[in-house]
Chains A and B, each alone.
Chain A
Amino acid sequence: MNTATSQARELTYAQAINEALAIALERDDRVFLMGEDIGVYGGAFQVTGGLYERFGPERVMDTPIAELAGAGIAVGAAMTGSRPVYEFQFSDFATLAMEQIVNQAAKMRYMLGGGVSVPVVMRFPAGSGTGAAAQHSQSLEAWFAHVPGLKVVQPSTPHDAKGMLLAALDDPDPVMIFEHKLLYKSKGVVPEGYYVEPLDKAVVRRTGEDVTIVATSIMSVRALEAAETLAQDGIDAEVVDLRSIRPIDRQAIIDSVRKTSRLICVYEGVRQLGIGSEIAAIVSEGEAFDALDAPIVRLGGADCPLPYNPQLERAAVPQVDDIVDAARRLVGGRI
């Protein structure tokens, strides 16, 4: 990690991304932003506010409501020397642009024998909790993590949101950044100036002895909150924030489970065939298998389209109480 030279202060997650974009636009002429309503309006979640005024319409481009075209322009621009950042208004709309992401961006380096690279960055506001219903609330990141050629990251703190975005802009290959919508207003310490966070390393947010909780995105925030409750019961949970789901930091998972001998995976995407399934497989297949003293627990999204009803929406994805309950039963020998 490159630490910034100047001092840190508190920013929201959205402000941290905004700052990263401004720094990137400032330091690198090849960088430009594209997306629906990101210019004058400042983006559906106000992440790009003020950038249009500062950098002008050439570098902060409003695009039509046509995700396939937008993604295609971004991929083509990246192949020909630019460093575009394309914002999807909602990650759900990525379904419209899959051809460009999966068949073009991810494949070009390989199809052309390394002759080109596609240094495109795509940002996806994702997740539930905003009452936006089934077509605007999904967590589809695991789809992308299944595609060789892409990198897929899920920063959970303002610090990482800035550092990983700047790292993504330095990366020669397509990087998909999934930002949980509920995190945009969360606050945290963010260094000033330019710094990068690695795109392939998990972080242990809390060390513990009794159970490992591997979580992604907002679930690592909930896992930390759960860990504080569990500490009052005398259960010492270790929280591993995965940060990147492609590549996955296998060693971080294995090291933690070898220490605690119990594993809970928490992620918002649909539970089956999800990120937690891969984490469970990493542990079952590898050096950590013999350390397991209890079955692996996966907490993931319910197997249904996300409900609009707020109570049902809440019930459809793991909450702090679910994590606390699972950890109590696991450490208590009831699972």
Chain B
Amino acid sequence: MPTEVILPRVDMDMTEGSITAWYAREGDSVKAGEPLFDIETSKATMEVESPASGIVRKVSASVGDTVPVGTVIAWIYASGEALAELGPEPEPEPEEALQAAAAHAPELSSEIAEPARAPAAGERVVTGAAELRTGTRASPAARKAARESRVELAQVSGSGPQGRIVKNDVLSFLRQAPAAADSSVRLNRLWLHEGNAATLVLVHGFAAESNGWRPLVSAMREAGVLADIGVLAVDLPGHGKSPDGGALSLQQTADAIEAVLREEYAEPVHLVGHSFGGAVAAQLARSSRLAVRSLTLIAPAGIGESCNWAFINGLTHSAERATLRPWLEELVEDASFIDDAFVATAEQQLRRPGRRQTLERIAVEFFRDGRLQIDLVPVLSELRMPVRVVWGLADRILPITHADRLPRNVAQHRFAGVGHLPQIEAPGAFARVIGEQLMR
């Protein structure tokens, strides 16, 4: 018996559909499962496969015709089956037709299912229905480019074999649509040293900024560990020259830094984070798929439970240099490190529009009432790269007792006679720690 080809029901509201393409003509031979025709409804364009193998006969609907669901639009005759052997075409009852339609398209739900397989060679990729493109073929480089530029791959047409999207397709798409939406905050970044080897990435702490890392670069040069290493400092959201991205979670902050590192082609990277920036760096080390060779944390926030809330409040709310200075002196063991230039730079930062509000929001989010709202211990214990923590024994912001909670995969360097800023107070010793990490 020949097999009937009907217009299937591809969504629940559908009563009729129009034929937009035939892949076989009268008399052509087809195989079961091969694409036979396309239909278009008010919602989608859909490819329909041949229900049987054989010869296409009695095609009754042409491209452009709109026909009711369940209508027989052609017949598939098995080879050897003659046209004459058949009587008049049976006219199925409407109810039967609907059942038949469902039987012919069992995989189609009201939402339009994903194709069960990737398109094979020579097969057309259905366009016009984004839902159908979830199995998009794209090269890893194209996916990476799309990820970085926040392009939906489904919007890009592929020029490679079988419609594969290659990197250049994404780049062409971007050229056509230059104003691709970028919802996340774009952070300011500062290359402190150019180098072709790995990149040392520096993430500053609460109320600080990238320029504060400059002495470290000199110390690294003096210690002979700078060599061909690139050094890239990033301003956290609402710090330095970075815009305030609104209330960001630790993960969102880490993601914003990851975007910088991808844009700057910084990989492989060695991450360094100070205090609050340490929490961000640790989160980044765990969550990103970047090549992170090592992680170095300076007195990181999120190991112990409490922090110096008076300092955070005082720093955030001091209006003048005279009132700011004593709070800054809390940062170090030897107050002579807090010279006039240090105070002036800090004050300048705080004077920027919106800066105090940013700091208040971060303080409430992460350090409310001096209780740390983040726990980095499980994050750190999962890391597989070398992790070191440097902590000053005289730290008055985040006390050294926190370090007792560090998991055992973390190496500790406890610096005597040093407060919350080992990188400023003991730059040579700190640079050598960095040098050891860079050997990885």
Q: A288: nearest residue on chain B (CB-CB)? A: B140
Q: Contacts A287-B267, A287-B268, A287-B291 given: A292-B160 contact, CB under 8 Å?
A: no
Q: B168: nearest residue on chain A (CB-CB)? A: A293
What CA separation (Å) do A38 and B323 show in the bound complex? Answer: 89
Q: Tell me if B141 counts as interface (CB < 8 A to partner A).
A: yes
Can you list 19 A-B contacts (CB < 8 A)?
Answer: A261-B141, A287-B267, A287-B268, A290-B140, A290-B141, A290-B143, A290-B289, A291-B140, A292-B140, A293-B139, A293-B141, A293-B142, A294-B160, A294-B166, A333-B159, A333-B160, A333-B166, A334-B161, A335-B161
What CA separation (Å) do A292 and B140 show in the bound complex? Answer: 5
Question: Which residues in window 387-415 of B have CB below 8 A to A?
Answer: none
Does more than half of chain A's interface fall in helix, strand or loop, or is it mixed?
A: loop
Q: Tell me if B167 counts as interface (CB < 8 A to partner A).
A: yes
B268 and A293 within 8 A (CB): no
Q: Which residues of A contact B289 (CB under 8 A)?
A: 290
Q: Which residues of A contact B167 (CB under 8 A)?
A: 261, 293
Q: Tell me if B352 counts as interface (CB < 8 A to partner A).
A: no
Q: When each residue 270-300 of chain A gets 1 if its CB lies under 8 Å from chain B and 0 otherwise, what string results?
A: 0000000000000000010111111000000
Q: Tell me if B144 counts as interface (CB < 8 A to partner A).
A: yes
Chain B residues close to A by CB (< 8 Å): 139-144, 159-161, 166-168, 267-268, 289, 291
Q: Contacts A261-B167, A333-B166, A334-B161 given: A294-B267 contact, CB under 8 Å?
A: no
B144 and A290 within 8 A (CB): yes
Q: Which residues of A contact B160 (CB under 8 A)?
A: 294, 333
- Give 6 new A-B contacts, CB below 8 A, not counting A292-B140, A333-B166: A287-B267, A287-B291, A290-B140, A291-B141, A294-B160, A334-B161
Q: Which residues of B contact A287 (CB under 8 A)?
A: 267-268, 291
Q: Which residues of B contact A333 (CB under 8 A)?
A: 159-161, 166
Which of A289, A293, A334, A335 has the most C-beta atoms of chain B within 10 angstroms of its own C-beta? A293
A292 and B161 within 8 A (CB): no
A206 to chain B, nearest CB (A): 20
What CA separation (Å) do A333 and B161 show in the bound complex? Answer: 7
Q: B141: nearest residue on chain A (CB-CB)? A: A293
Q: B139: nearest residue on chain A (CB-CB)? A: A293
Q: Which residues of B contact A293 (CB under 8 A)?
A: 139-142, 166-168
What CA separation (Å) do A293 and B145 show in the bound complex? Answer: 10
Q: B267: nearest residue on chain A (CB-CB)? A: A287
Q: A261: nearest residue on chain B (CB-CB)? A: B141
Q: Which residues of A contact B142 (CB under 8 A)?
A: 293
Q: Which residues of B contact A261 (CB under 8 A)?
A: 141, 167
Q: B161: nearest residue on chain A (CB-CB)? A: A334
Q: Which residues of A contact B143 (CB under 8 A)?
A: 290
Closest 6 CB pairs of A and B: A293-B141, A290-B144, A287-B291, A292-B140, A293-B139, A293-B167
Question: Which residues in window 249-282 of A have CB below 8 A to B?
Answer: 261
B235 to chain A, nearest CB (A): 26
Q: Which residues of B contact A290 (CB under 8 A)?
A: 140-141, 143-144, 289
Q: A290: nearest residue on chain B (CB-CB)? A: B144
Q: Which residues of B contact A334 (CB under 8 A)?
A: 161
A123 to chain B, nearest CB (A): 35
A293 to chain B, nearest CB (A): 4
What CA separation (Å) do A52 and B361 show in the bound complex? Answer: 85
What CA separation (Å) do A289 and B140 show in the bound complex? Answer: 7
Q: Which residues of A contact B139 (CB under 8 A)?
A: 292-294
Q: When each residue 168-205 of chain A gets 1 if its CB lies under 8 Å from chain B and 0 otherwise, what string results?
A: 00000000000000000000000000000000000000
Q: Which residues of B contact A292 (CB under 8 A)?
A: 139-141
B158 to chain A, nearest CB (A): 10
Q: A258: nearest residue on chain B (CB-CB)? A: B267
